[in-house]
């Protein structure tokens, strides 16, 4: 292992904030994946549901997921921006 | 199962009897018409029980003589001690009248029911009663076809009288014809053996026909046709009294504590009366002969003498028991007590679970889940929807729309047994854990679960409030009243189903964020409900007084929803503190939800 690589590894090991941010982003991505799966199921249901109360209910759920995914995206961007500043 | 077999055997026996004898067919048809007439009379009187009867009942039971008088008069008018007994049981059960008042009415009803014997013996068999039946039936049907509740009630009364008369006429002609073919009087049993056997027969007939009136009709017509002896007819009448007490006891067993006590008092009264009548049958027979001569009943008029005997021995029972009404009441209150049903026991909280914070939190989470399941069942039943239906794929809106009756539910009792007891155990367990000292984040998880337990209890309390009006208006025939309650039931049922579906999914694929959509739909349903109510009030289709009650109920509905969502959120919380923090950051706050509500298109 070259000296440079070794130093980088050491830097990552001691940079606790950076590691914590990484884990936080992973955690967000995990939740986002669940939301994405749910969104796919709902869209599939929406296609086969006739207009009416049930369809409006499905649309409401999709709107909620969209808002949550938007929040997740903003959070990831903030975390990444914070990491880049360092 | 035994009931089904007995019914099948009875139907086969009747069918065989019809095939064997045309006269038996006529007698049975008479009994059937008579019973149907009594049912119609009951139905008719029920149309008038919306307030007047209850008001009179309440004002007539503050003194024993008034209670007895009320029992006599109401049973004489209605010719149905069953209806009077049922109403009395419901009033005693609801503690609107005292047990002593109820006992007085039952005694009076026993005396009032003897007027039936006088009517049948004095009038029914002496005139062509069928000719009076026909106009009553015609008037009854015409009135029944009208719209008004009172007119319909009068129709039922007229029909009841018509069928009673027709039944008497059929029985009379059946027994007259029967007489030429068979002579049942050949089976007469003299002496005390005969008294006991015929008392048992009278009791059995009354239990089968569920009406002492019908039994008396059979006895009197059989006596008039000479098919039974006068002595055996007296014993049959005693048996009819005992049979009616058994019928009432069977009905009272399904009632609450007050109803059970009253049913036992009825049995005690009739048993005492029957015992005295059997023991003193010779003396009473002599008294009947003596009194008959005094009031002008002919020596050979056994029908009226039987009616007199029936009245006398019931009067004797009243005279014997009336002074002991209060002691009997005290004895029943002492002897017949509420047997508490077992309290729900915790499933996961045991001392071993306190060993480590992780096992304690895990056990607690499961127990709160258990509490949620109990609350889920109670709330579903409170909505008059079976939990199995909510768990299924069936359309909830259809199920709500098709509901024809409110499922009887003692919310307070279930709350005490299945919610409060478990909540107390949870709180006890939490204080045990806290006593051992907990580090963050376990302390926070503990707090969240404690809060969830409280949320569940609050949701159930909301259901307790809501249930009162749901029971009253949930299946109202007036669509303007029923539809808002249907909307309330549907909102909560959908929420329960959604939460159940989310809870049943694999924790690896589900997130508590899914509950945010329920918050949104709860909010939109609430706003839609209120704007619909406002529209109905503006259009003068709904009085503001009722609308405000509905608004209160909507508020309970909203609280139930919020509490259940909060509880489910705690139960679905991820175990890792980082994941918890992320989910709480991504969850929609009030502003986010309001934005989404505002962007939701208005309902048409």
Give the tens place of pLDDT for each residue, B233-275.
888 888 888 888 877 776 666 566 777 888 888 888 888 888 8
Nearest-by-CA chain B residue for A61: B517
**Mean pLDDT across chain B:** 82
> Which one of B501, B517, B588, B592 would you mutate to disrupt binding with A, by most A Cβ within 10 Å of its Cβ?
B517
CA distance B201 to B191: 16
CA distance B237 to B214: 11
CB pair distance less than 8 Å for A60 and B592: no
Exposure string of B537-565, with b = 16+ CB inside 10 Å and e = fewer, is beeeebeeebbebbeebbebbbbbbbbbb
CA distance B484 to B311: 53
Tokens of residue A15, six digits = 């940079």
Report the pLDDT value the prediction gives residue B604, as an integer from 0 to 100. 47
Q: What are phi and psi of B119, to 5 degrees?
A: -65, -45
Report the pLDDT value the prediction gives residue B49, as an integer from 0 to 100. 55
Render pLDDT for B310-330 as a digit per residue (tens, 0 to 9).
888 889 888 988 888 888 888
A→B interface, C-beta within 8 Å: 23-24, 27-28, 30-31, 34-35, 37-38, 53, 56-57, 60-61, 63-65, 67-68, 71-72, 75
Nearest-by-CA chain B residue for A73: B586
Domains and CATH numbers, chain B: 26-335 (no CATH), 351-599 (1.20.58.220)
Tokens of residue A27, six digits = 């955690």
Mean pLDDT (whole number) for B490-499: 91
Render pLDDT for B188-215 as a digit per residue (tens, 0 to 9).
677 777 788 888 888 888 877 767 777 8
Of B517, B586, B600, the CB nearest to A31: B586
Q: Which residue has the higher pLDDT, B122 or B334?
A: B334
Does B562 sit behind a cis peptide bond, omega within 30 degrees of 0 on the bond before it? no
Report the pLDDT value the prediction gives residue B423, as an integer from 0 to 100. 92
Which phi-psi region, left, alpha or beta, contains residue B341 (left: φ > 0; alpha: ψ -120 to 50)? beta
Q: Is B511 on the interface with A (CB under 8 A)?
A: yes
For residues B384 and B474, the answer to whether their CB atoms sit within 8 Å is yes
Who's near B182: CB < 8 A, 6+ residues apart?
A: B227
Mean pLDDT (whole number) for A72-85: 78
Render pLDDT for B62-72 as a digit per residue (tens, 0 to 9).
788 888 888 88
Tokens of residue B459, six digits = 């949701």
For residues B243 and B212, the answer to whether their CB atoms sit within 8 Å is yes
Chain A and chain B share a number of CB contacts under 8 A equal to 62
Report the pLDDT value the prediction gives residue B565, as an integer from 0 to 100. 92
Contacts of A60 in chain B (CB under 8 A): 517, 520-521, 524, 596, 600
For residues B113 and B294, the answer to whether their CB atoms sit within 8 Å is no
Contacts of B524 in chain A (CB under 8 A): 60
Return residues 558-597 of B near A (CB < 8 Å): 576, 578-579, 582-583, 585-588, 592, 595-596
* Tally of helices (H runs) and strands (E runs) in chain B: 27, 0
What is the DSSP secondary-structure string of B413-474?
Answer: HHIIIIIIHHHHHHHHHHHHHHHT---TTHHHHHHHHHHHHHHHHHHHHHHHHHHHHHHHHT
CA distance A84 to B13: 94
Q: Identify the top-confidence range among B145-149, B202-206, B490-494.
A: B490-494
Who's near B192: CB < 8 A, 6+ residues apart?
A: none
Task: Work out the pLDDT band at B602, boundaries 50, 70, 90.
Answer: low
Who's near B579: CB < 8 A, 6+ residues apart?
A: A27, A30, A31
Mean pLDDT (whole number) for B359-383: 89
Residue B40 CB-density burial (10 A; 0-12 exposed, 13-18 middle, 19+ buried):
buried
Q: Is B513 on the interface with A (CB under 8 A)?
A: yes
Domain ranges of chain A: 17-85
């Amino acid at each position: 292992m070259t000296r440079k690589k070794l130093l980088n590894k050491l830097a990552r090991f001691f940079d606790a904030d950076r590691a914590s941010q990484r884990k936080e982003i992973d955690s967000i991505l995990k939740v986002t994946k669940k939301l994405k799966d749910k969104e796919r199921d709902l869209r599939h249901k929406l296609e086969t549901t006739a207009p009416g109360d049930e369809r409006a209910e499905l649309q409401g759920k999709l709107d909620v997921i969209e808002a949550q995914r938007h929040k997740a995206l903003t959070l990831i961007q903030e975390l990444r921006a914070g990491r880049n500043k360092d | 199962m035994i009931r089904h077999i007995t019914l099948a055997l009875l139907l086969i026996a009747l069918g065989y009897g019809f095939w064997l004898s045309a006269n038996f067919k006529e007698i049975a048809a008479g009994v059937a018409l008579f019973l149907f007439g009594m049912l119609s009379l009951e139905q008719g009187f029920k149309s008038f029980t919306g307030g007047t009867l209850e008001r009179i009942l309440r004002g007539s039971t503050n003194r024993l003589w008034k209670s007895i008088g009320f029992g006599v008069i109401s049973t004489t008018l209605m010719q149905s001690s069953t209806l009077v007994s049922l109403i009395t049981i419901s009033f005693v059960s609801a503690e609107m009248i005292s047990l002593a008042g109820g006992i007085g009415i039952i005694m009076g009803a026993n005396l009032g029911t003897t007027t039936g014997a006088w009517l049948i013996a004095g009038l029914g068999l002496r005139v062509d009663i069928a000719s009076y039946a026909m106009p009553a039936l015609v008037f009854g049907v015409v009135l029944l076809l009208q719209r008004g509740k009172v007119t319909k009630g009068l129709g039922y009364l007229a029909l009841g009288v018509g069928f009673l008369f027709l039944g008497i006429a059929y029985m009379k002609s059946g027994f007259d014809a029967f007489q030429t073919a068979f002579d049942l009087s050949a089976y007469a049993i003299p002496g005390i053996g005969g008294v006991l056997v015929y008392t048992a027969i009278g009791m059995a007939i009354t239990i089968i026909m569920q009406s002492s009136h019908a039994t008396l009709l059979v006895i009197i017509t059989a006596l008039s046709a000479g098919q039974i002896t006068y002595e055996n007819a007296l014993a049959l009448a005693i048996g009819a009294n005992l049979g009616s007490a058994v019928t009432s006891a069977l009905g009272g067993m399904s009632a609450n504590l007050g109803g059970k006590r009253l049913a036992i008092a009825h049995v005690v009264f009739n048993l005492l009366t029957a015992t005295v009548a059997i023991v003193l049958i010779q003396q009473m027979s002599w008294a009947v002969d003596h009194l008959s001569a005094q009031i002008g009943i002919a020596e050979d008029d056994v029908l009226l003498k039987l009616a007199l005997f029936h009245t006398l021995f019931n009067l004797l029972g009243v005279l014997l028991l009336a002074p002991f009404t209060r002691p009997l009441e005290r004895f029943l209150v002492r002897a017949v007590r509420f047997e508490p049903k077992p309290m729900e026991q915790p499933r996961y909280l045991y001392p071993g679970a306190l060993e480590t914070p992780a096992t304690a939190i895990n056990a607690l989470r499961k127990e709160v889940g258990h509490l949620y399941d109990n609350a889920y069942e109670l709330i579903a039943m409170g909505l008059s929807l079976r939990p199995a239906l909510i768990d299924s794929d069936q359309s909830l809106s259809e199920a709500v729309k098709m509901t024809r009756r409110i499922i009887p539910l003692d919310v307070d009792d279930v709350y005490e047994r299945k919610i409060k007891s478990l909540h107390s155990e949870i709180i006890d367990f939490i204080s045990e854990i806290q006593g051992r000292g907990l580090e963050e984040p376990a302390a926070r998880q503990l707090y969240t679960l404690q809060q969830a337990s409280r949320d569940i209890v609050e949701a159930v309390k909301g259901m307790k409030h809501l249930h009162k009006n749901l029971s009253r208006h949930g299946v109202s025939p007036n669509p303007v009243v029923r539809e808002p309650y249907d909307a309330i039931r549907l909102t909560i049922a959908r929420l329960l189903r959604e939460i159940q579906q989310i809870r049943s999914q694999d924790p690896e694929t589900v997130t508590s964020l899914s509950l945010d959509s329920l918050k949104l739909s709860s909010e939109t349903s609430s706003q839609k409900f209120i704007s619909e109510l406002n529209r109905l009030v503006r259009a003068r289709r709904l009085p503001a007084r009722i609308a405000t009650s509905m608004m209160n109920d909507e508020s309970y509905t909203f609280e139930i929803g919020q509490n259940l969502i909060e509880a489910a959120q705690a139960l679905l919380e991820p175990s890792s503190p980082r994941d918890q923090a992320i989910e709480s950051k991504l969850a929609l706050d009030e502003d986010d939800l309001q934005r989404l509500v505002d962007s939701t298109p208005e309902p048409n």
